[in-house]
Structure 1
Amino acid sequence: MKRTIVMTGGGSAGHVTVNLALIPHFSKDGWDIHYIGSYEGIERQLISRLDKVHYHAISTGKLRRYLDWNHLKDPFKVIKGCYQAYRLIRKIKPDVIFSKGGFVAVPVVVAGWLNKIPVIMHESDLTPGLANRISFPLAEKLCVTFPETVEQLASPKAVYVGAIVREEIMHGDREQGMRFSQMQRVKPIIMVMGGSLGASSINQAVRTHLHTLLQRYQIIHICGKGNLDPSHDAACYKQYEYVNEELADLLAITDIMISRAGSNSIFEFVSLHKPMLLIPLPKESSRGDQILNAESFAKAGYCEVLADNQLSGDLFVKTIDKLYDNRFTYIQEMKKYNADNNLNKLISIIKNHAKRK
């Protein structure tokens, strides 16, 4: 009998990339794959293009760390989402649910628990996010990226599997990357990523110091939806709102990274041996998980770190120069990291907890 998995997770690309790593393996093994996400989130953009995945949209709330009248509507959206997810799961009858987190995942986990479907969750950051903390009591297992997370949770449900890296990200084509970006191999290439939604402070810092940076580097700037600035167009400065299929090729030509500190992305950079300047989200606009991620990576010798409020002065350019000048030291440390078997561990856990029909 054909087996079925429901996957969920969204709100940012980081809540989708592990699912993207899993999907080819479950598809190859003949599983029927369904994905429950939001109506307009980035998960729909990333998953809907996949031929062998059935995408279902539900209503979802959102965690906001600021005052907003939409707070009043969110509980009703979550209740509606739980009802929609419950009906979907009753219809799909999956063997197992895999949740990557984000607030779209909460109704799906609740609906899975109500339908007595085993739920396996995944946490990328050192400390679990609010959605995963809410869902944790309803899950069979929470697979984590950092061993410290197992110690924090002190529960037999928490299992260390390590970082999950998409296989396709490891096979970029340098020639394709050069053609797509129209770069020339005359100067080192920096890639700037502020996450799937962009990062205004990083975008501003790069553009403020663009003239100085372009004297030494070429820059590929993934700046987020609606954040292109044609006034800064230059031959050695390429801007993109978001890059999907071409990302592996662009990473293949990249010498150093400037990035936020979302765990999924920065573990991929480690696996690719890309020295990083990490600029974690500040506590004012996050729960501080990226700060912990960045501290952990700095301690391991993989990166340099700047706080968001350190981007306005000369320190930004000086730190980039330091990172590039010492790039081989960072690369040697990153070569010690091995994530080869982590994905197989996660797949085994999911399959071992699937219901037997």
Structure 2
Amino acid sequence: MKKKIVFTGGGSAGHVTVNLALIPHFLHEGWGVEYIGSENGIERELISKLKGVHYHSIKTGKLRRYFDWNNVKDPFRVVQGIFQSFRIIQKSKPNVVFSKGGFVSVPVILGSKLNQIPVLTHESDLTPGLANKISMPFVKKVCTTFPETEKHLSSKKAEYVGAIVRDELRHGNATKGYTYCNFIREKPVLLIMGGSMGSQKINKSVRDSLDELLSNFQIVHICGKGGVDSSIKKRGYKQFEYINEQLPDMMHMADIVISRAGSNAIFEFLSLKKPMLLIPLSKEASRGDQILNAESFKKAGYCEVLQEEELSKDSLTKTIKHLYKNKENYINKMKTYQGEKALSKVIKLIKNEAI
């Protein structure tokens, strides 16, 4: 009988990319693949591009650590999402559920538990997120990207696997990137990514520094939804809200990268040996996970770090120049990283837990 797996995870691209890496392998092996996500989240947009994956949408509520009037409404949405997930899983009868986390995953994990379907989840960051903390009692295994994460989890459930990177990122074509952006090979390329939701502060600092940066670099600026400034038309500067199919080509083309410090993104840059300037989300805007991720990478010699509170036109340009000048040192450090086996480890764990 054909085996079936349900994936979940969403709210940001980082909560989908690991699933995007895993799904093709299960499709290739003939498994039935379904996805449970939110009605309007980025996961729906990303998963809808995949052939052979049936997408189910459920009601979701965001798990906030701050006061918001939606905190009153969202528990009811979560309860509704649990019942929807329960019915979907009851009808689908998967052998196993895999969660990448994010607030959409909590109702799915609880709905799976009520159907007695085994669940594995994945924690990308050094410390577990709120959704994974809530879900912990109901899952069989928690796959971790950082070995240090095991200190924060039950040793019986934690399984260090390393970083999962999508195969297609390794097969990007720099020539296609140059053509797509109308860039030349003789001038280095700076790739700027503020995460799938963008970063207003990074965007502003980059644009304040644009003339100086363009004297040394060609720039691909992924600004996030609504972040493109159409009034700026400068040679060598390309803006995009979000890049999907062309991202592997852009990453292979880039000489250095500016990024937030979400785990999935920084491990992708590490796998491609791209020197990084990481600007983690501040503690005021997050639980501080990106700061820990960035510190871990800096300690390993993979990147430079600029805290958001220190971000300015001068600090940005100074750090970028230092990063590019010493890029070979960062590349040599990144060559020592061995992370190619993570994907096969997770696939094996999923198959072992499937009923």
Matched with 2:122 is 122
Matched with 2:221 is 221
Q: Which runs of 5+ in 1 are unaligned?
A: none
| Contact residue 125 and residue 262 of structure 2 kept, 8 A | yes
Aligned partner of residue 287 in structure 2, secondary structure:
coil
Matched with 1:336 is 336
Which residues of 2 match residues 191-270 of structure 1 at below 5 A?
A: 191-270=191-270
Once the two structures are superposed, what CA deviation does each residue of 1:267-310 show, in whole Å capped at 9, x if it has no partner?
01000000000000000010000000000000000000001011
Aligned partner of residue 231 in structure 2, secondary structure:
helix
Which residues of 2 match residues 27-66 of structure 1 at below 5 A?
A: 27-66=27-66
Matched with 2:289 is 289
Q: What code does the residue aligned with 1:291 have?
A: I
| Whole-angstrom CA distance in 1 between matches of 2:63 and 2:82 | 16
Aligned partner of residue 35 in structure 2, secondary structure:
strand
Q: What code does the residue aligned with 2:293 have?
A: N
| Contact residue 65 and residue 285 of structure 1 kept, 8 A | no
Q: What code does the residue aligned with 1:17 have?
A: T
| Whole-angstrom CA distance in 2 between matches of 1:269 and 1:296 | 15
Aligned partner of residue 284 in structure 2, secondary structure:
helix
| Whole-angstrom CA distance in 1 between matches of 2:68 and 2:123 | 27
| Contact residue 13 and residue 43 of structure 1 kept, 8 A | yes
Question: Is 2:306 the partner of 1:315?
Answer: no
Q: Which runs of 5+ in 2 are unaligned?
A: none
Residue 68 (structure 1) shift? 2.1
* Distance of aligned partners of 1:332 and 1:136 in 2 relative to their CA distance in 1, 3 Å threshold: same
Aligned partner of residue 88 in structure 2, secondary structure:
helix
| Whole-angstrom CA distance in 2 between matches of 1:309 and 1:148 | 26
Matched with 1:110 is 110
Matched with 1:21 is 21
Once the two structures are superposed, what CA deviation does each residue of 1:88-138 show, in whole Å capped at 9, x if it has no partner?
000000000000000100000000001000000000000000000000110
RMSD over equivalenced CA pairs, Å? 0.8
**Structure 2 length as normaliser, TM-score?**
0.99
User: Number of residues paired by the alignment?
Assistant: 355
Which residues of 2 match residues 25-174 of structure 1 at below 5 A?
A: 25-174=25-174
**Structure 1 length as normaliser, TM-score?**
0.98
| Contact residue 261 and residue 293 of structure 2 kept, 8 A | yes
| Whole-angstrom CA distance in 2 between matches of 1:155 and 1:345 | 17
Once the two structures are superposed, what CA deviation does each residue of 1:190-230 show, in whole Å capped at 9, x if it has no partner?
00000001011110110010011111111000000111001
Matched with 1:181 is 181
Residue 182 (structure 1) shift? 1.2
Question: Is 2:5 the partner of 1:10?
Answer: no
Q: What code does the residue aligned with 2:263 have?
A: S
| Whole-angstrom CA distance in 2 between matches of 1:334 and 1:51 | 34
